[in-house]
Amino acid sequence: MHAVISNTPLSPNVNRLDVVAPRIAQIRQPGQFVIVLRCEGAERIPLTVADADPVRGTITLVIQAVGKSTRELVALKAGETIAGIAGPLGKPTELISTGRALCIGGGVGTAVVHPIAQGLHRRGVSVLSIIGGRSREWVIFENELRQLGDVTVCTDDGSYGRHGFVTDAAKDALAQGGIDVVYAVGPVPMMRAVVNLTRPLGVHTIVSLNPVMVDGTGMCGGCRVAVGGQTLFACVDGPEFDGHQVDFELLMDRLSTYRVFEQQALAACQEGACKVGLA
Ligand code: NAD
Ligand code: FES
């Protein structure tokens, strides 16, 4: 059992949970994730380890409440427990050792970019982060990223920072030159737009993919993605891949396949079929 130490709202539907998981806190590396099982019989939720404190023995999970299971997770209070956390899973991020990196985080994907920026900063790489949200209240991890380098904040409605998508700011940053690698995490259309910017410039671009996962060990095939014409499993071959090789259309198609089931589960939950009360 893993005790929840704190539960902090970061934006209208995103919460930060700090959870006791000493072994994972010690060995996790940027880019790796865990699979969380709230209680016996619950859905298994893959979540990036957004941060860790090896001394305290805790890991930070950032959860967007979009469906039944994620709503149940963000409803956990300090002192309550999570039945199981498996990990760290997946391959660590391919980090450069010198030069300048551009880290782009869209919405909740910013929490996935944070450990990458931390890893780069520890190696002495210059980090420029571009992060965005629909409006000011959706911008997360700004202060944490400011400790690691320059940060440009964008909002879709212009309520904070630069008006527009993160890709607008990324286009300008890339035009200035000097970027050795781009790491981009966020909604699939955002990552696809980033690789469309960097491909003609020949700037290596790493994206983190979020297909549906079940076992997280390469056995079920649920997380298969097409990269460079090959079928790969995001849980063991990724979740990060060369963005210029990713088949984003297939990824979007596979993600939409499960949307109807997720909506049905959420509807059942809202009708009172699940144990946790919803706002
Ligand atoms: P969102 O829809 O609010 O978008 C966040 C930001 O991304 C926007 O403010 C904008 O700057 C940028 N963006 C969005 N659409 C864009 C487009 N078409 N072109 C260019 N930029 C665009 O995001 P959200 O609701 O916080 O995130 C939800 C999505 O992120 C979900 O689809 C989720 O599955 C995905 N996600 C992905 C990962 C991952 O590892 N890849 C992790 C967490 C969440
Ligand atoms: Fe089952 Fe990746 S989650 S193969």
89, 108, 132 - which closes a domain:
89
In sequence order, the 6+-apart residues with CB closer than 8 A to the CB of 237 are 91, 218, 227
Which of 57, 75, 142 lies closest to 277 in space, CA to CA?
75
Residue nearest to atom 29 of ligand 1 (CA): 187
Match 């039945």 to its residue by tokens: 83
Which comes out higher in pLDDT, residue 265 or 65? 65
Identify whether 150 is part of a domain. yes
161 CB under 6 A from ligand 1? no
pLDDT at 274 over 70: no
Query: Which tens digits make up the pLDDT trace of 88-103?
Result: 999 999 999 999 999 9
pLDDT at 277 over 60: no
As a whole-number percent, the residues of the chain with pLDDT over 90 amount to 84
Number of domains in the chain: 3
What is the domain extent for residue 240? 209-273
Query: Which tens digits make up the pLDDT trace of 122-136?
Result: 999 999 999 999 999
Q: Which ligand is nearest to the CA of 210?
A: 1
Beta strands in 136-265 (DSSP E): 150-155, 162-163, 181-185, 204-208, 224-227, 230-233, 240-242
Mutate which of 114, 210, 259 for ligand 1 pocket (most atoms within 8 A of beta carbon): 210
Q: Do 178 and 98 lie in a common domain?
A: yes
Identify whether 279 is part of a domain. no
User: Cβ–Cβ contacts within 10 Å for residue 48, how many?
Assistant: 29
220 CB under 6 A from ligand 2? yes
89, 113, 131 - which closes a domain:
89
Q: Do 67 and 113 lie in a common domain?
A: no
pLDDT at 269 over 90: no
- Give the Cα separation of 121 and 126 in Å (integer): 7
In sequence order, the 6+-apart residues with CB closer than 8 A to the CB of 276 are 71, 72, 75, 269
Distance, CA 36 to ligand 2 centroid (Å)? Answer: 14
